[in-house]
Structure 1
Amino acid sequence: MRVLLSTWGSRGDVEPLAGLAVKLRQLGVDAQVCAPPDDEFVALLARANVPMIPLGPSVQSVVSRPKPPTAQDAFKLAPELVAARFETLTRAAADGCDAMLATGLMPAGVRDVAERLGIPYVLACFHILGLPSQHTSPGKRPGTPPATGPTDRRAEWAQDAERVNALYAEALNTHRAAIGLPPVGNVRDHVFTEHPWVAADPVLLPAAGQTELDIVQTGAWILPDERPLPADLERFLDAGEPPVYVGFGSMASYAPQDIARAAIEASRAHGRRVLLARGWAGLSTIDDAADCFVVGEVNQQALFPRVATVIHHGGAGTTGTAARAGAAQLIVPLIADQPFWAKRVTELSIGTSAPDPTTESLATALATTLSPTTQSKARSLGPTLQTNGTEVAANLLLQTINS
């Protein structure tokens, strides 16, 4: 049995698929991951012993620019990704494939290749921000600005579908026609299907009843990490009380200017040492003081239980890893689903947020996350979170194939 898992996006889009692939392979399924060819993702999948098929351009080539991607960049990237999915997935499935699962940036093209092959297709997501709902308005997308004046949610979501069509419809339907398939009128709903999977913990994300679609919530997809921490990092951790961790993952050009300085100065105001994760934003120390340490890519599952607070951008992956570790969180939300996770962390009393980070605002927020109440709440929540999401999803996928 062979399954292709496809994504294009940040590490938070790739690592969960690696976790699911590992579980599927343990069950005897030949699971392969189609993902962007960034060095970090190549190394991650190699470490997990999961075969990788490069898909599209590297994410770093798109986001690691002096300024964040523009609407013009989005309209250029969308058809490029559609073409890459048709080409890559068709080639990857040439030796046989029993199902395709997609996630990441609007994966238009995956369902269409599966349709042509006559095999099951599943859309999975790590939050519900983009799923049509009468409870929330849609997030921002490139394209025509929202209509001015009052509109109801149904009209807002109809406009959202139009923006997705503007990005993807022409390319998608051109490729569909080339393989003998009829055109799609609503790309967003076609990609999402009526039964998308939500790979998120139900405590962190109580998704039931929050969307118009009939979702299947599996729990988060976790890739186990057994790597030891580097010896020099261990020495730093052992040399004093738990430090404040600061990392912005794949955010690169989105990271706030001078965020490292603001976080270091705010932490020092509380007498705390700082552990900076370099990441794609290239965070670095502001002086040679011994109270700061910089790390590259490390095992967050082992690290986060040993820090006092995790300051981060609020991606679904980092939020979940910190929550399971029992670490308090200070989220600086930048884009997409990050404001949602900042709000959720605050609601659960396991942290807070600082949307406009300065030394002063971060210091104030750290007073909350370092408080005994927040520390206790975070430690108590960790063990209650679900950890068998990959097992649930893998078994569901096997049932889908065999039904």
Structure 2
Amino acid sequence: MRVLCTSVLSPSQTREALRFALLLSGAGHEVHIATEEHLLGTFLDRGVTATACLPSLFGAATAAGGETGDAVELLHSGAASPDTAALVLAGPHLLGQFKALDAVAHDFKPDLLLRDAMDVAACLVAEKLGIPHVAMPSGAKGFTDPAALLPRLDQWRCAAGLPPRGDPLSLTAHGHLDYLPPAWTFAPHLPPALAYRQPAFSDPRAKLPSWIVGLPSDRPLVYAGIGCAMPLFLPSPEGHRPPPGRPDPATVLRSMIEGLSRLDCVAVVSTSGVAVGQVDSAPHVHVVDSVPQPLLLEAADLFLTHGGYTSVRESISTATPMAVLPRTADQPMNARRVTELGIGHEVTDCTPSGIASACRRLLGDDSVLRRVKQARLATLALPTVETAVSDLESLVNHHSAPQ
């Protein structure tokens, strides 16, 4: 089986592409990853073939200007509606995405297209080739509304010489993959996914620093972090600042640090390398560049998080209640879903006092802990992610069998 895999935009999504590429190649299948230039380094020397052949999705959408450029800013600011998100994913730039991937597919001749959920051009390439396409786990599914995307996709289907589908569920015609069971999904508007148990760690060599072992154990342990996507909003080395409305990671981190300084706890704050500048922090708040998040969550009593989908899944897998401070992309939707599922709360007052109050309330709420333990139990009942290989093999075999 030959599998063409796409990876766009986010460093966290490259890990999913790499995970499935290694699983499939380890089972004897030929895999090729098509990605953007800034993500290529993730795949180098990892035992998979990858090329930087795709134009930057956000770069192309921004360059399109007009309402498409405005839609990108709305998505960055966390205020995107289904229609504006559809414009970012399938605006005038989609034809360029389609042509770039189509050229790779023409040479590689895949049997399956395993796509980043943000890459809807891959659906059209798969339709042109007559092969199945499947989206990998991603928070993008939370704001990917098939009904809003359909008119735009049908427009580009015609431009690419393909017949219109007229069916919103064509986006998931062959299923999609996830790490959460249907009752706990963060994309309840989509058909149920093929769900698998999330691997415990992205890096099996990871370990916690020794100083963490010596932290006081007579107070709750709170871990806070902003993930790997928000630092992308920092000013560029050339001094260009992000447009107004985009989140400032340093400001978010300072609010987290000052809020936790007002809380009776032991806190570890990971800055993801962001310089926070002058901040009034208490001795019980330990600020570090990075820490193995999945490992520390195993021992944390609360996770103060930006609400990225990977962080949410890791919190569920360790049964750690969440205080969600969303800022961009899918994070506001994830925060609402966390609250709806009862596994944490959205922090609506983002001042230090508001953050401290929200964390204090969660640490005293046993019902949230019970609920997130139920979610973890449900994920533990899922099949291992390795079984995705046989599921994808069956999908390709069924699709290619004479009807």
TM tier, smaller? 0.7 to 0.9
Residue of structure 1 in register with 2:131 after alignment: 119
CA distance in 2, matches of 1:101, 1:332: 31
> SS state of the match for residue 385, structure 1?
helix
Give the aligned residue type for 1:250.
A
Residues 61-72 of structure 1 mapped to structure 2, 5 A cutoff: 70-71=70-71
CA distance in 1, matches of 2:247, 2:11: 15
1:182 aligns with 2:182: no
Residue of structure 2 in register with 1:239 after alignment: 215
CA distance in 1, matches of 2:329, 2:173: 22
Classify 1:187/1:279 alpha carbon distance in 2 versus 1 (closer, same or farther; 3 Å): farther
> SS state of the match for residue 101, structure 1?
strand
Residue of structure 2 in register with 1:385 after alignment: 379
Give the aligned residue type for 1:229.
K
Which of 203, 213, 219 does residue 225 from structure 1 map onto? 203
TM-score by length of 2: 0.72
Q: What displacement does 1:311 show?
A: 1.5
Root-mean-square deviation (CA, aligned residues, Å) is 3.9
Classify 1:57/1:298 alpha carbon distance in 2 versus 1 (closer, same or farther; 3 Å): farther
Residues 318-397 of structure 1 mapped to structure 2, 5 A cutoff: 318-371=311-364, 373=366, 374-375=368-369, 378=372, 381-386=375-380, 388=383, 390-397=385-392
Classify 1:344/1:359 alpha carbon distance in 2 versus 1 (closer, same or farther; 3 Å): same
Residues 292-303 of structure 1 mapped to structure 2, 5 A cutoff: 292-296=285-289, 298-303=291-296
1:196 aligns with 2:152: no
Gap runs ≥5 in structure 2 = 63-68, 74-83, 234-245, 399-403
Classify 1:244/1:297 alpha carbon distance in 2 versus 1 (closer, same or farther; 3 Å): closer
Classify 1:193/1:381 alpha carbon distance in 2 versus 1 (closer, same or farther; 3 Å): closer
CA distance in 2, matches of 1:269, 1:201: 34
CA distance in 2, matches of 1:388, 1:227: 24
CA distance in 2, matches of 1:62, 1:238: 49
1:205 aligns with 2:184: yes
CA distance in 2, matches of 1:27, 1:354: 44
> SS state of the match for residue 25, structure 1?
helix
Q: Give the conservation status (yes or no) of the 8 Å contact 1:277–1:294.
A: yes
CA distance in 2, matches of 1:341, 1:54: 30
CA distance in 1, matches of 2:290, 2:61: 18
Count residues with an aligned counterpart: 359
CA distance in 2, matches of 1:299, 1:244: 11
Residue of structure 2 in register with 1:102 after alignment: 115
Q: What displacement does 1:226 show?
A: 0.6
Q: Give the conservation status (yes or no) of the 8 Å contact 1:265–1:359.
A: yes
Residue of structure 2 in register with 1:21 after alignment: 21
> SS state of the match for residue 184, structure 2?
coil
Classify 1:344/1:71 alpha carbon distance in 2 versus 1 (closer, same or farther; 3 Å): closer
Give the aligned residue type for 1:249.
C
Q: Give the conservation status (yes or no) of the 8 Å contact 1:328–1:350.
A: yes
Classify 1:25/1:244 alpha carbon distance in 2 versus 1 (closer, same or farther; 3 Å): same
Q: What percent identity do the matched residue pairs reach? A: 20
1:399 aligns with 2:356: no
1:129 aligns with 2:124: no
CA distance in 1, matches of 2:58, 2:275: 12
Give the aligned residue type for 2:396.
I
Residues 244-323 of structure 1 mapped to structure 2, 5 A cutoff: 244-251=223-230, 252=233, 253-255=246-248, 258-279=251-272, 283=276, 286=279, 291-296=284-289, 298-323=291-316
CA distance in 2, matches of 1:273, 1:55: 46
Residue of structure 2 in register with 1:151 after alignment: none
Give the aligned residue type for 2:43.
L
Classify 1:96/1:130 alpha carbon distance in 2 versus 1 (closer, same or farther; 3 Å): same
Residue of structure 2 in register with 1:143 after alignment: none
